[in-house]
Amino acid sequence: MLTRRSFVALAGMGGLAACAQPPAQPVTRAVMAPAKTHPPLPEFYGPITTEPWPIPAIPDGTIAPRLWRQEVDNPFPDRPRGTIVIDPDAALLHFVEGPDRAMRYGVSVGAAGFAWAGKAHLQFCRDWPRWKVPAAMIERQPNLAPYSVANGGMDPGPDNPMGARALYLFKNGKDTLYRVHGSASPQELGKAVSQGCIRMLNHDVIDLHDRAIHGSSVVVLGTARRAAQN
Protein backbone atom coordinates (compact mmCIF):
# COMPACT_ATOMS: atom_id res chain seq x y z
CA MET A 1 0.00 0.00 0.00
CA LEU A 2 1.28 3.40 -0.92
CA THR A 3 1.28 5.40 2.29
CA ARG A 4 1.45 9.16 2.40
CA ARG A 5 5.03 8.91 3.64
CA SER A 6 6.01 6.65 0.71
CA PHE A 7 4.31 8.95 -1.77
CA VAL A 8 6.16 11.96 -0.46
CA ALA A 9 9.47 10.09 -0.67
CA LEU A 10 8.83 8.96 -4.24
CA ALA A 11 7.70 12.41 -5.25
CA GLY A 12 10.93 13.83 -3.85
CA MET A 13 13.00 11.38 -5.85
CA GLY A 14 11.07 12.30 -8.98
CA GLY A 15 11.81 15.93 -8.35
CA LEU A 16 15.50 15.22 -7.98
CA ALA A 17 15.50 13.28 -11.25
CA ALA A 18 13.73 16.11 -13.02
CA CYS A 19 16.26 18.68 -11.75
CA ALA A 20 19.34 16.59 -12.55
CA GLN A 21 21.53 17.85 -15.44
CA PRO A 22 21.99 15.50 -18.36
CA PRO A 23 25.43 13.96 -18.70
CA ALA A 24 27.96 16.54 -19.93
CA GLN A 25 28.64 16.20 -23.62
CA PRO A 26 32.28 16.28 -24.68
CA VAL A 27 33.28 19.65 -26.08
CA THR A 28 34.44 19.38 -29.67
CA ARG A 29 37.08 21.90 -30.70
CA ALA A 30 38.46 22.51 -34.14
CA VAL A 31 41.99 21.22 -34.47
CA MET A 32 44.20 24.00 -35.78
CA ALA A 33 46.55 22.94 -38.53
CA PRO A 34 50.17 23.53 -37.56
CA ALA A 35 51.72 26.64 -39.04
CA LYS A 36 53.39 25.96 -42.36
CA THR A 37 57.12 25.85 -41.91
CA HIS A 38 59.90 25.54 -44.44
CA PRO A 39 62.78 23.09 -44.05
CA PRO A 40 66.15 24.50 -43.03
CA LEU A 41 67.97 26.39 -45.75
CA PRO A 42 70.92 24.76 -47.52
CA GLU A 43 74.34 25.48 -46.07
CA PHE A 44 75.30 27.69 -49.02
CA TYR A 45 72.88 30.30 -47.65
CA GLY A 46 75.00 30.63 -44.53
CA PRO A 47 77.23 33.62 -43.72
CA ILE A 48 79.85 34.67 -46.27
CA THR A 49 83.00 36.12 -44.73
CA THR A 50 85.28 36.19 -47.78
CA GLU A 51 83.76 39.33 -49.36
CA PRO A 52 84.88 42.94 -48.74
CA TRP A 53 81.77 43.27 -46.58
CA PRO A 54 80.41 40.26 -44.68
CA ILE A 55 77.14 38.86 -45.99
CA PRO A 56 74.88 37.51 -43.22
CA ALA A 57 73.14 34.16 -43.40
CA ILE A 58 69.62 34.03 -44.80
CA PRO A 59 67.28 33.31 -41.86
CA ASP A 60 65.49 29.96 -41.99
CA GLY A 61 61.86 30.26 -43.07
CA THR A 62 62.42 33.48 -45.00
CA ILE A 63 62.10 32.08 -48.51
CA ALA A 64 60.03 29.27 -49.99
CA PRO A 65 61.96 26.17 -51.13
CA ARG A 66 60.92 26.68 -54.75
CA LEU A 67 62.96 29.92 -54.74
CA TRP A 68 66.12 28.26 -53.48
CA ARG A 69 69.07 27.96 -55.80
CA GLN A 70 68.92 24.50 -57.34
CA GLU A 71 69.94 22.58 -60.43
CA VAL A 72 66.92 21.48 -62.45
CA ASP A 73 65.95 19.97 -65.78
CA ASN A 74 66.45 22.62 -68.44
CA PRO A 75 63.04 24.05 -69.47
CA PHE A 76 64.69 25.94 -72.36
CA PRO A 77 66.63 23.24 -74.24
CA ASP A 78 66.69 25.31 -77.45
CA ARG A 79 68.75 28.05 -75.77
CA PRO A 80 72.56 27.84 -75.99
CA ARG A 81 74.72 27.35 -72.95
CA GLY A 82 75.16 30.53 -70.94
CA THR A 83 71.76 32.00 -71.79
CA ILE A 84 69.95 33.61 -68.88
CA VAL A 85 66.15 33.31 -69.04
CA ILE A 86 64.01 35.26 -66.59
CA ASP A 87 60.34 34.44 -66.04
CA PRO A 88 58.82 37.36 -64.11
CA ASP A 89 55.49 35.62 -63.48
CA ALA A 90 57.22 32.67 -61.83
CA ALA A 91 59.87 34.90 -60.19
CA LEU A 92 62.56 32.55 -61.48
CA LEU A 93 65.84 32.97 -63.35
CA HIS A 94 67.42 30.06 -65.22
CA PHE A 95 71.05 29.88 -66.26
CA VAL A 96 71.32 27.35 -69.08
CA GLU A 97 74.16 24.92 -68.34
CA GLY A 98 73.54 22.66 -71.32
CA PRO A 99 70.78 20.92 -73.26
CA ASP A 100 69.53 19.03 -70.24
CA ARG A 101 70.35 21.02 -67.11
CA ALA A 102 69.96 24.55 -65.80
CA MET A 103 70.67 26.36 -62.55
CA ARG A 104 67.53 27.98 -61.18
CA TYR A 105 67.31 30.96 -58.83
CA GLY A 106 64.46 32.83 -57.21
CA VAL A 107 64.25 36.55 -58.01
CA SER A 108 62.28 39.71 -57.35
CA VAL A 109 61.00 41.52 -60.42
CA GLY A 110 59.75 44.92 -61.52
CA ALA A 111 56.63 46.34 -59.95
CA ALA A 112 53.65 47.23 -62.13
CA GLY A 113 54.65 49.91 -64.61
CA PHE A 114 58.37 49.22 -64.31
CA ALA A 115 58.69 45.72 -65.76
CA TRP A 116 60.72 45.17 -68.92
CA ALA A 117 60.65 42.28 -71.35
CA GLY A 118 62.72 41.39 -74.36
CA LYS A 119 66.14 40.13 -75.35
CA ALA A 120 69.42 41.74 -74.40
CA HIS A 121 72.96 40.56 -73.83
CA LEU A 122 75.27 40.58 -70.87
CA GLN A 123 77.72 43.42 -71.52
CA PHE A 124 79.74 43.20 -68.30
CA CYS A 125 79.56 42.43 -64.58
CA ARG A 126 80.70 44.33 -61.51
CA ASP A 127 81.66 43.26 -58.01
CA TRP A 128 80.10 45.48 -55.34
CA PRO A 129 79.00 48.08 -57.90
CA ARG A 130 78.25 51.73 -57.35
CA TRP A 131 74.59 52.67 -57.62
CA LYS A 132 74.16 55.43 -60.19
CA VAL A 133 70.54 56.50 -60.11
CA PRO A 134 69.02 57.24 -63.55
CA ALA A 135 67.49 60.66 -64.13
CA ALA A 136 64.00 59.19 -64.57
CA MET A 137 64.15 57.67 -61.09
CA ILE A 138 65.35 60.94 -59.58
CA GLU A 139 62.33 62.67 -61.13
CA ARG A 140 60.12 60.28 -59.18
CA GLN A 141 62.27 60.33 -56.05
CA PRO A 142 64.17 63.64 -55.78
CA ASN A 143 65.77 62.52 -52.52
CA LEU A 144 68.00 60.23 -54.60
CA ALA A 145 69.66 63.18 -56.39
CA PRO A 146 72.90 62.84 -54.35
CA TYR A 147 73.41 59.44 -56.02
CA SER A 148 72.93 60.64 -59.60
CA VAL A 149 75.28 59.73 -62.42
CA ALA A 150 76.70 63.26 -62.31
CA ASN A 151 77.43 62.92 -58.59
CA GLY A 152 79.17 59.58 -59.00
CA GLY A 153 76.47 57.42 -57.47
CA MET A 154 76.38 55.66 -54.12
CA ASP A 155 79.50 54.01 -52.74
CA PRO A 156 79.60 50.20 -52.71
CA GLY A 157 78.77 48.46 -49.48
CA PRO A 158 76.09 46.62 -47.52
CA ASP A 159 73.69 49.59 -47.69
CA ASN A 160 73.97 49.92 -51.45
CA PRO A 161 70.78 48.48 -53.05
CA MET A 162 72.81 46.97 -55.91
CA GLY A 163 74.21 44.39 -53.54
CA ALA A 164 77.31 42.27 -54.00
CA ARG A 165 77.24 41.86 -57.79
CA ALA A 166 75.52 43.37 -60.82
CA LEU A 167 75.09 42.13 -64.38
CA TYR A 168 74.57 44.95 -66.91
CA LEU A 169 72.17 44.39 -69.81
CA PHE A 170 72.70 46.05 -73.19
CA LYS A 171 70.63 45.91 -76.38
CA ASN A 172 71.84 46.96 -79.82
CA GLY A 173 74.95 48.41 -78.23
CA LYS A 174 73.04 50.62 -75.80
CA ASP A 175 72.61 50.32 -72.07
CA THR A 176 69.06 49.26 -71.22
CA LEU A 177 69.57 50.63 -67.67
CA TYR A 178 68.24 47.29 -66.41
CA ARG A 179 70.40 45.13 -64.19
CA VAL A 180 70.43 41.75 -62.55
CA HIS A 181 71.83 42.53 -59.13
CA GLY A 182 72.04 41.49 -55.51
CA SER A 183 69.86 42.48 -52.61
CA ALA A 184 70.02 42.31 -48.83
CA SER A 185 66.22 41.94 -48.53
CA PRO A 186 65.45 38.21 -48.71
CA GLN A 187 61.87 38.83 -47.56
CA GLU A 188 61.16 40.46 -50.94
CA LEU A 189 62.22 37.43 -52.97
CA GLY A 190 59.46 36.26 -55.29
CA LYS A 191 57.66 39.61 -55.28
CA ALA A 192 57.19 42.41 -57.81
CA VAL A 193 58.82 45.27 -55.93
CA SER A 194 61.72 46.70 -57.90
CA GLN A 195 62.02 49.67 -60.27
CA GLY A 196 62.41 47.20 -63.12
CA CYS A 197 65.69 45.48 -62.31
CA ILE A 198 65.94 41.82 -61.39
CA ARG A 199 66.96 41.34 -57.77
CA MET A 200 68.57 38.22 -56.36
CA LEU A 201 69.84 37.13 -53.00
CA ASN A 202 73.44 38.27 -52.60
CA HIS A 203 74.41 34.62 -52.15
CA ASP A 204 72.79 33.74 -55.48
CA VAL A 205 73.99 36.69 -57.54
CA ILE A 206 77.57 35.85 -56.54
CA ASP A 207 76.99 32.29 -57.78
CA LEU A 208 75.41 33.51 -61.03
CA HIS A 209 78.22 36.04 -61.54
CA ASP A 210 80.78 33.25 -61.35
CA ARG A 211 78.90 31.23 -63.99
CA ALA A 212 77.89 34.06 -66.33
CA ILE A 213 79.42 34.34 -69.80
CA HIS A 214 80.01 37.88 -71.05
CA GLY A 215 78.18 38.54 -74.31
CA SER A 216 75.61 35.80 -73.73
CA SER A 217 71.91 36.35 -74.27
CA VAL A 218 69.55 37.46 -71.53
CA VAL A 219 65.87 36.81 -72.23
CA VAL A 220 63.15 38.38 -70.08
CA LEU A 221 59.83 36.74 -70.86
CA GLY A 222 56.64 38.77 -71.15
CA THR A 223 54.32 38.74 -68.17
CA ALA A 224 50.64 37.92 -67.87
CA ARG A 225 50.33 40.86 -65.49
CA ARG A 226 51.37 43.35 -68.14
CA ALA A 227 49.18 41.71 -70.80
CA ALA A 228 46.20 42.05 -68.47
CA GLN A 229 46.93 45.74 -67.99
CA ASN A 230 47.08 46.52 -71.72
**Any idea which residues carry the catalytic annotation?**
181, 197
Q: How far apart are CA 163 and CA 183, in angstroms?
A: 5
Comparing CA positions, the residue from 226, 154, 174, 180 lying closest to residue 86 is 180
Q: How far apart are CA 69 and CA 45, in angstroms?
A: 9
Q: How far apart are CA 34 and CA 85, in angstroms?
A: 37
- The full DSSP string for 71-95 is EEE-S-TTSPTT-EEEETTTTEEEE
C-beta of residue 176 within 8 angstroms of C-beta of residue 170: yes
Q: How far apart are CA 58 and CA 185, in angstroms?
A: 9
Strand, helix or coil at 4? helix
